Amino acid sequence: MALFNMKAVLLCSGLARRMDGQVKPLIKVGGREILYRSMRLLEKHGIQEFTVVVNKRNREEIERFLRDNGFKFEIVVNDAPERGNGYSLYLAKEKVSGKFVLAMGDHVFGEEFVRKAVRGTGLICDRNPRFIDPDEATKVKVDEGRVAEIGKKLEDFDCFDTGFFILDESIFDSAEKLVMEAETVELSDVVRKAKPQVTFVDGELWMDVDTPKDVRKAEEALFRESGKGRGDGFVSRHFNRKISTRVSMALAGKVEPNHATLLSFVSGVLSTVLLLFSIPLAGVLYQLSSILDGVDGEIARVTMNTSRIGGVIDSILDRIVDFLFLSILAVLTLSTKVEFFVAFLAVFGTIMVSYISERYKGEFSEGFYGRFSVFIPGKRDERIFIIMLFCLLYPALGTFYLFLSLAVLTNLRIFEMLFRLIKSEMYISGIDIS
Q: Which of 69, 306, 307, 405 binds a copy of itself (CB under 8 A)?
A: 307
Nearer to a copy of itself, 165 or 360 (CB): 360
**What is the distance between the alpha carbons of residues 417 and 413, in angstroms, rounded to a whole number?**
6
Backbone angles phi, psi at 228, to 5 degrees: -90, 150
Asked whether 407 and 349 are in contact (CB, 8 A), the reply is yes
Cα(255)–Cα(298) distance, integer angstroms: 12
Strand ranges (DSSP E) for 209-271?
none
Q: In the structure, how many helices (H) and strands (E) does the chain have? A: 16, 15
Binder among 328, 404, 408, 412 for a copy of itself (CB under 8 A): 328
CB of 185 to a copy of itself, least distance (A): 47
242-301: contacts with a copy of itself (CB under 8 A) = 258
Q: 408, 402, 317, 410: which is closest to 357 by C-alpha?
A: 410
Rounded to whole angstroms, the Cα distance separating 233 from 415 reads 18
CB of 249 to a copy of itself, least distance (A): 23
Identify residue 259 by its one-letter amino acid code.
Answer: H
Which residue lies nearer to a copy of itself by CB, 318 or 382? 318
Region of 46-54, 74-82, 238-246, 338-346 interacting with a copy of itself (CB under 8 A) = 338-346
Total residues in contact with a copy of itself, by rule CB under 8 A: 48
Which own/partner pairs from 63-66 qualify as long-range (CB within 8 Å, at least 24 positions apart)? 65/26, 65/33, 65/35, 65/36
Minimum CB separation of residue 348 from a copy of itself in Å reads 5
Residue 400 Cβ vs a copy of itself, minimum distance, rounded to whole Å? 14
* Share in percent of the chain as helix, strand, coil (round to 5): 55, 15, 30
Nearer to a copy of itself, 14 or 257 (CB): 257
- Least CB distance from residue 254 to a copy of itself, whole Å? 17
CB atoms within 10 A of CB 284: 15
Candidates 269, 263, 319, 318; CA nearest to 295 is: 263
* Closest listed residue to residue 28, CA positions, set 302, 423, 425, 362: 302
Q: Does position 340 bind a copy of itself by CB under 8 A?
A: yes
- Least Å from the CB of residue 69 to a copy of itself: 16
Query: Exposure string (b/e) for 227-255, b if CB count within 10 Å is 16 or more?
Result: beeeebbebbeeebbeebbebbbebbeeb
Residue ranges in 346-375 that form contacts with a copy of itself under rule CB under 8 A? 347-348, 351-352, 354-356, 358-365
Out of 3, 250, 273, 312, name the contact with a copy of itself by CB under 8 A.
312
Q: Which of 309, 373, 432, 433 binds a copy of itself (CB under 8 A)?
A: 309
Question: Rounded distance, CA 87 to CA 55, Å?
Answer: 12
Contact indicator for 80, 37 with CB cutoff of 8 Å: no
CB of 362 to a copy of itself, least distance (A): 3
148 vs 320, beta carbon nearer a copy of itself: 320
Is residue 31 at the binding interface for a copy of itself, with CB under 8 A as the rule?
no
Region near a copy of itself per CB under 8 A, out of 33-41, 336-344, 373-381, 393-401: 336-344
Q: Report the interface residues with a copy of itself, using CB under 8 A.
A: 258, 307-313, 315-316, 319-320, 323, 327-328, 330-331, 337-338, 340-341, 343-345, 347-348, 351-352, 354-356, 358-365, 414, 417-418, 421-422, 424-425, 428-429
